[in-house]
Amino acid sequence: MNHKTKAENEATDTQWPLWEVFVQEKQGAPHEHAGSVHAPDAEIALQNARDVYARRGRLLSIWVVPSAAITATTPSDDGPFFDPGNDKIYRHPQFYKVPRGVKMF
Amino acid sequence: MEDKKRLEEFEARIQRGEKIEPKDWMPERYRKQLIRMISQHAHSEVVGMLPEGNWITRAPSLRRKLVLLAKVQDEAGHGLYLYSAAETLGVDRQELIEQLLEGKAKYSNIFNYPTLTWADIGVIGWLVDGAAIVNQTMLAKSSYGPYSRAMIRICKEENFHKRQGYEIVATMAKGTPEQKKMVQDAVNRWWWPSLMMFGPHDTDSPNSGELLRWKVKTKTNDELRQRFVNLTVPQAHAVGLTIPDPDLKYNPETGNWEFGEIDWDEFWRVIKGDGPCNRERMRARRKAHEEGAWVREAAAAYAAKHGMKSRVA
Ligand SMILES: [Fe+2]
Ligand SMILES: [Fe+2]
């Protein structure tokens, strides 16, 4: 038996950094967020991600990214930040009229 | 004032069936309730490995051993999906695990019962995972995005758990008289604790109203319990097993299997720590955590060494 002091235990129990896991399920499909894992480095993060998110053997590829390295929009960006995309209906093909009977594609 | 308006907006979003994501504004109560629920759920997956792990070395065939190993490993994975979902709410997994190891956290009562025979492994897969599926299928529609997504992932894996259990049960039920007796005995012991998995009656469940209003849950404890009984009774009859409830009877008008009263004294006794295995489970969890310390140390040392190299390069 090894008896450790509380301080020693705390030293070894320090939480490892968080990594976000992205997986590709099918050939040609995009990588999708699956969840997260804790790991001391990228290599172990990949191994942990495999053990946690690929137990059914259907995955083609896994990405791990340090969670701290991700910059994301915030929900309050919802309005102004995305506005430039919302008010340009002329970017959609339905905006344009085509003479009846003409096949475009 | 500001908060009242935000709360109204939040509740309107929930009413429209929108999912709440980690960075969205949410009432503190919603966050607290979710942390409580998701962490208890994660702990249950982790502690749930113990009663079944007990039988891995004694599985009756190599096939059964492979299957049981894979199932127990899945439960570890489920625990991790759920800790990951809980962390999106601003708690550390470390913190949650410490609470569990210190005996301050709750987990599902069912895992405080012992697995006495091999038949228990079949019955756990069939009844305990079966009850979990009923609950988790509902939670897959939960209003909190990360919880709902973790549940969808889990539900996809749980069907295997239930089927492997039912296969063991069906095999033993048509086996020798001793095997049949053994599996019936396991059903007799696990039936009532399985019904207790859905929690107290709606009238005695203080959190239910709020959880339903915020669509964390979309069905009540009693509704889920009834659904489980309706699904399970015909499965028992199909393999010639009886349910240990003299009051059980089919109501053709409602289509429900009506059942007798649960022993709530037992339920509260086990929750308060006096179940047959509460102490043993916590002892086993702490031992596993301590014995894994060298793995964590080695991984950290390896990463430190590597990290240094890449920084130099
Ligand atoms: Fe599970
Ligand atoms: Fe399961």
Q: How far apart are CA B239 and CA B265, in angstroms?
A: 31
Q: Does pLDDT of B193 surpass 80?
A: yes
Calculate the CA B280 to chain-centre distance: 19
Residue B218 identity: T
CA of B72 to nearest chain A CA: how many angstroms apart?
12
Mean pLDDT of chain B: 94
Contact list, A43 vs chain B (CB under 8 Å): 306
pLDDT classification of A14: cutoffs 50, 70, 90: low
Q: Tell the residue number behind the tokens 């009238």, with chain if given.
A: B203
What local confidence, expressed as pLDDT, does residue B303 receive? 84
First-to-last CA distance in chain A?
Answer: 74
Both structure tokens of A20:
């976000």
Partners of B250 in beta bridges: B257
Query: Nearest ligand to the C-alpha of residue B136?
Result: 1
Give CA–CA dist B29/B10, Å, rounded.
12
Q: Average pLDDT in the B241-267 region?
A: 97
Q: Which of the ligands is closest to the CA of residue B164? A: 2
Q: What is the pLDDT of residue A5?
A: 43
Residue A79 has pLDDT above 90, yes or no: no
Predicted pLDDT of residue B311: 45
H/E element holding B98?
Answer: helix B93-101
> For residue B293, which residues of chain A lie inside 8 Å, CB to CB?
4, 9, 12-13
Residue B262's identity, in one-letter code, is: I
Q: Is the pLDDT of residue A9 over 90?
A: no
Give the closest residue to B4 by CA, choosing from B24, B25, B19: B25
Is the pLDDT at A54 greater than 80? The verdict is yes
When computed from its CA atoms, the radius of gyration of chain A, rounded to whole angstroms, is 23
- Between CA B247 and CA B25 the distance in angstroms is 48
Instruction: Quote the CA–CA distance of B60 and B171 in Å, as a whole number.
Output: 12
Q: How many CB atoms lie within 10 A of CB B39?
A: 26
Residue A87 has pLDDT above 90, yes or no: no
Say yes or no: A57 contacts chain B, CB-CB below 8 A.
no
Would you call B84 an interface residue with chain A, using a CB distance cutoff of 8 Å?
yes
Ion ligand 1 — residues with CB under 5 Å?
Answer: B 45, 75, 78
Q: Which domains, from first to last, does chain A contain? A: 14-70+81-95 (3.10.20.520)
What's the pLDDT tens digit per position in B11-56? Answer: 999 999 999 999 999 999 999 999 999 999 999 999 999 999 999 9
Shortest CA gap B77–chain A (Å): 5
pLDDT (average), residues B245-268: 97
CA separation for the pair A89, A100 (Å, rounded) = 22
Mean pLDDT of B152-168: 94
pLDDT band at residue A91 under the 50/70/90 scheme: confident
Q: Do B25 and A37 touch (CB under 8 A)?
A: no
Tell me the two tokens of residue A57: 């053997």
**Spatial CA neighbour of A19 closest among A41, A46, A37:** A37
